[in-house]
Structure 1
């Protein structure tokens, strides 16, 4: 393990993670001692429209993958329409490799709650929901306890801190379906229906939860709000880059010495992040990696100096996504890794649209054939053609997420496929894997 240089260590910017190691960080007493709910008191003295402008001025962009400007999204909510408004926080973190929201909710739940109250006040919502993965039992328990603590202190409920603003915050556990991470499927699930994506338009800002104006934001996005209110837009923009402002929690896993969460300003490079994580494991050299989870196109060792912000990753041909950076070495097989991801997407497909439902089924069968030593050159054309027909043609982004690792490994690591087909690489699966690809 190598020690990071001082100039690289200085790139760590603990903002959202600054309380994680504090004793009893999840309790309201600790949170209040460390400036907790000070931003709420300040926000309640400001007009809601001015709060939205503050978030716009900060340049905060969504931390859930798309990077859409948060203040702009809040501004889409129509005012004076006579309908109830809702805030929904997407805490359904379920993509392989993604692990930034769960520790935030576990160790600092009050930052999410405070951000939810401020955001609800800004969009004039009197009811908010945190939709969390059903498997995240411990984090959900922490959140529910934190909600009760906030109610007892007058931060939630009626007439919050004497402001006349009322808010009910509900923590809702899903049933473990990955598709419910898609915002409209999440809304259907909240309403008690099967979680499947909706046709858009109308968009949630016009007709979301219960056909009313709704803002759907990621955990990291909402948890950033109190810090912006306290520190101001200029302080927030002092971190990150001109178009990608603020810090980001990068989740590093795989063949590195110290996997974990590293919070740095947007724009740090993978080389620097690996150095912060103690370097690659002994005997391993970087071969490929995901910049934003398994649903983003793979990048290679040649992209190690790519700025990890929305523009830099896009210029390299991928997506920043959830900043779930899975690091693979020269001892890992890109063909086998892609098959494992496809098994996940095939299992989690809701089945609503034909490209995703049928395409994933056939790609899984094709990968099993290649990895069993039964592959042919035609299989590579089949994979490329199937991925091309899924990408951009499925009802939601899950289909695109399944197709991108296939397309990127065929682009960068075609030789690895040929090694299986031509017998230079021993089969990874037995012939039994070809039977019943369900």
Structure 2
């Protein structure tokens, strides 16, 4: 995995003014521990927040900056913070960091936690101060063993320096922080499933309302934010709203910078901190270097396996939520994948849907039964044994498992790439449909009402 914030010509250096998330990174990829982090202005924003800002002012600053969730959903962070109760008698409340990064083709949070663990801790410390939470948890993907080691060391360093624990910075404010490793379930990326898992329950999403801000961990007010989201907070507090808004490119409705990447058979796969509003073509050609020799770009996904496929002609779309929505899908995590011309789309979708079917919590029928059904159909088509009507059945499943049809967003995300693949590459699916044999009736097909 590479991380660079400049193009192949090395023209753009990382600075605190332009790259708030990555300017402190070491060239050798080693973690930035406390002494070095503080030498690079680390915890200065936290000291400012504790000494000079009222708690409500911190919330308002984040809201005014327009920070949105970086986990894929893009909900405004300040608005989410504002949902926490104002009642001072509710003094037990929690801050959870969603570090269960299991979206296929996404590794941005891993880089932050492994190399800049104190940036996340500072972001959580400021957020805890704003939200009046006395305890925080980093719910970490269990496979991220290196991140767990680095985060736990950083937490101990912060405790020893008086930046966590009792009476932080002489303010009278207490905040404990724990690293909790999960057992490896994709569904824990959904905030209420994460809460259930943290409590020791099965990782099923909860019915909303009530929302976690009212009834979260152990029935107490809880705020859940993504790693990259929390890592943006120190720079916003330290540099102000106007500076943060100035970082994005003209035309972007989202503010600040974003960790973006490209994987697949590109010349320079990696991860870069870029301003919202750069075009996907810049990301693909100037940073990822285009396709390797001998390969041609067939299609691409803008932000993880749960986003729809786009064609090469869509590369001029701007990388922000509204820009990607204009070409028919979601930005997701912002880490794109290039699919080359040697890949059969049926096989690729069968692989994806197998993952999503396996990771379903099984709580609601459309997801529990619909995703395995799609896998069986795709396996048959992949073998050339598909039956007439299978493609229509798959499209029916795409509608039946779409937004608003299931208990959470797992199934809609799972079928979005399937629907787009059939839309753009239907002949590849049709090639797997066997000719009907005389006298052999097709399998019974469902009727999708309203799909």
TM-score range, shorter chain: over 0.9
Question: Which residue of 25, 46, 65 corresponds with 2:31?
Answer: 25
Q: How far does residue 19 in structure 1 lie from its aligned partner after superposition?
A: 2.2
Q: TM-score, normalization: structure 2?
A: 0.90
Q: Deviations over 1:331-388 (max 9, x none)?
A: 2222211111101011111111100010011100001000111113311011111221
Task: Check 1:349–1:232 CA distance in 2 against 1; reply closer, same or farther (3 A cut).
Answer: same
Mapped to 2, the partners of 1:267 and 1:100 lie a distance apart of 18
From 291, 294, 297, the counterpart of 1:286 = 297
Gapped runs of 5+ residues in structure 1?
424-438
- Asked whether the 8 Å contact 2:96–2:139 carries over to 1, the reply is yes
Tell me whether 1:198 sits opposite 2:206 in the alignment: yes
> Partners in 2 of 1:147 and 1:411 — Cα distance?
48
Pairing of 1:392-431 with structure 2 (within 5 A): 392=403, 393-421=405-433
The worse-fitting range, judged by mean Cα deviation, of 142-151 and 51-60 is 51-60
Residue-pair matches, total? 421
Q: Taking structure 1 as the reference length, what is the TM-score of the superposition?
A: 0.93
Which structure's residues are more often helix, by fraction? Answer: 1
The answer to whether residue 104 in structure 2 is matched with residue 103 in structure 1 is no
CA distance in 1 between partners of 2:264 and 2:410 (Å): 23
Residue of structure 2 equivalent to 1:270: 280
The separation in 2 between residues aligned to 1:369 and 1:416, in whole angstroms, is 13
Q: CA RMSD in A?
A: 1.8
C-alpha spacing 1:385/1:94, structure 2 compared with 1 (3 Å):
same
Q: Which residue of 1 aligns with 2:73?
A: 66
SS for the counterpart of 2:137 is strand
- Superposed displacement of residue 22, structure 1: 4.8
Structure 1 position 140 matched with structure 2 position 152: no
Instruction: Report the secondary structure of 1:263's partner residue.
Output: strand
Matches within 5 A, 1:305-344: 305-344=316-355
Q: SS state of the match for residue 213, structure 2?
A: helix
Structure 2 segments unaligned to the other structure (5+ residues): 1-5, 436-451
Does the 8 Å CA contact 2:384/2:431 hold for their aligned counterparts?
no
Contact 1:91-1:218 at 8 Å conserved across structures: yes
8 Å contact 2:258–2:273 — kept in the other structure? Answer: yes
Match of 1:298 in 2: 309
**Following the alignment from structure 1 to structure 2, what is the Cα–Cα distance between the partners of residues 372 and 309?**
38
Query: What SS does the corresponding residue of 1:336 show, helix, strand or coil?
Result: helix
Shifted more, 151-160 versus 241-250: the winner is 241-250
Query: Shift of residue 329 of structure 1?
Result: 1.6
Q: In structure 2, what is the equivalent of residue 427 of structure 1? A: none
Question: C-alpha separation between the residues in 2 aligned to 1:207 and 1:252?
Answer: 38
Distance 2:410 2:261 in 1: 21
